[in-house]
Amino acid sequence: MKSLLNISILFSLLANFSLPIFAEGGDEAEDKPYIGEEITKPEPKNDVKCLPFSLSYRGPGKRNVWIGATFPKDVRDKLEQVQNEIKKTGLRGGSYEAPGRLHVSLKFLGSIDQSPEPVEAIANALKTVPAIPLTMKITKIGILNNKNGTAKLIWAEISSDSLHQLFGKIEDTMLPFCKRDVRAYKPHITLYRFGRQNGPLPQKLQDAIKSISPNIESFALKGFKFIESPQIPSDPYKALAKYPGQTSLIVEEEKPMEANEGK
């Protein structure tokens, strides 16, 4: 009985004892047991985290930045004509986007530090985006609603394969800084911002707005910009960097991106 107990103790000790594993071709022990060939899986691109300088929206000492494109004067003039048609519907309680601020967004990056390093890093990365001939067409005037059913924006919807292509290139380029946008890209131009609404917009008014024809032929853009939004909404946008693209049109020099007009 005593010998059986000793054998049991011996097996117990052997079970908890492991010999050091030596590296192949060497004589130093590994610092962890060998568990087979290590397989590393590539991280999916949409899991890339934002760098530390991409922080809270409009926080103290922060600057809000985004990427977008503005329009030649003839297109801005025609968009202003669309806004004048909207005014004829009797719409009240909101604000029209000033012609100098009309733009199409490509990617919102969020809030970054006031220090120059983040801006320089993003601006330099955007230089690697290949130039793409940008052509587009405004298809219709639409209304964007909030989740509670109240109206939020009146916008001009854009159809453009080249703009979607540029969006994809910018998404790839910005991966070291921000995640991909999980929403489908729907290029548009904001024409009017609604004030606080007590309920859905009357159907008659909706129909009148949506029946407005943009009357704008296909047009081209001369590139895109890296833009900073002002802390004070009445202040103009600031172009931090410009990236001229390929275009077949000669466009006039753009005016500064103005603040919102009055209601």
**Domain of residue 232, residue span:** 45-244
Query: Is 25 a domain residue?
Result: no
pLDDT band at 38 (very low <50, low <70, confident <90, very high): very low
Query: Is 40 a domain residue?
Result: no
Q: How far apart are CA 114 and CA 233, in angstroms?
A: 18
Q: How far apart are CA 231 and CA 222, in angstroms?
A: 27
Q: What per-residue confidence (pLDDT) applies to 90?
A: 92
Position 155 pLDDT exceeds 80: yes
Query: Is 17 a domain residue?
Result: no
- 120 — phi, psi (to 5°)? -65, -40
Tell me the mean pLDDT in the region 28-36: 34
Q: How far apart are CA 65 and CA 118, in angstroms?
A: 10
Query: Is 202 a domain residue?
Result: yes
Position 52 pLDDT exceeds 80: no
Taking each helix axis from N to C terminus, what angle separates 161-173 and 116-126, rounded to the nearest 10 degrees? 130
pTM of the predicted protein model: 0.71
Q: What per-residue confidence (pLDDT) applies to 198?
A: 75
Q: Pick the closest to residue 178 from 59, 52, 48 (CA basis).
A: 48
Query: Is 73 a domain residue?
Result: yes
Q: What per-residue confidence (pLDDT) applies to 61?
A: 63
| Contact (CB, 8 A) for 250 and 221 | no
Tell me the mean pLDDT in the region 210-215: 93
Number of domains present in the structure of the chain: 1
**For residue range 221-257, what is the model confidence (pLDDT) as tens digits?**
889 999 998 877 667 788 999 998 643 332 333 344 4
Question: Taking all residues of the chain, what is their mean pLDDT, rounded to a whole number?
Answer: 76
Q: How far apart are CA 128 and CA 243, in angstroms?
A: 10
Q: How far apart are CA 140 and CA 175, in angstroms?
A: 32
Query: Is 19 a domain residue?
Result: no
Q: What per-residue confidence (pLDDT) applies to 194?
A: 94
Query: Is 226 a domain residue?
Result: yes
| Contact (CB, 8 A) for 230 and 236 | yes
The larger pLDDT score, comparing residue 230 to residue 141, is at: 141
User: Containing H/E element for 159?
Assistant: strand 151-159
**For residue range 59-68, what is the model confidence (pLDDT) as tens digits?**
556 778 999 9
Query: Is 29 a domain residue?
Result: no
Query: What CATH number is given to the structural domain containing 152?
Result: 3.90.1140.10
**For residue range 172-212, what is the model confidence (pLDDT) as tens digits?**
999 988 888 888 999 999 999 999 887 889 999 999 999 99
